[in-house]
Amino acid sequence: MTEMADETSVSVTLDAIECGCVLDALSDERNQCLREGKSTDTVNELIVKVANARARKSRGSREER
């Protein structure tokens, strides 16, 4: 992965199961990088961000409002 010159922030809403799936996929990617001798810095940063993401209460769907 290459460093982007223009940083863009993206928010994604995930439930607990989806968050677990993302963490598993990132872990698999990290392991693949290790096997190939590639840097894991970017993947490590993403794992930390996802793992430390704050849970927010759902505001409900637009149909409920």
Mean pLDDT, contiguous 10-residue spans, the chain (65 residues): 70 92 97 98 95 77 53
Q: 40 is in which domain, residue-wise?
A: 16-52
| Residue 32: inside a domain | yes
| Residue 58: inside a domain | no
Q: Outline where the chain has alpha helix (H).
A: 16-36, 41-51
pLDDT, position 6: 73
| Residue 29: inside a domain | yes
Give the number of domains in the chain: 1
Give the predicted TM-score (pTM) of the model.
0.73
| Residue 39: inside a domain | yes
- The number of beta carbons lying within 10 Å of the beta carbon of residue 23 is 15
| Residue 34: inside a domain | yes
Strand, coil or helix: what is 37? coil
| Residue 5: inside a domain | no
| Residue 9: inside a domain | no
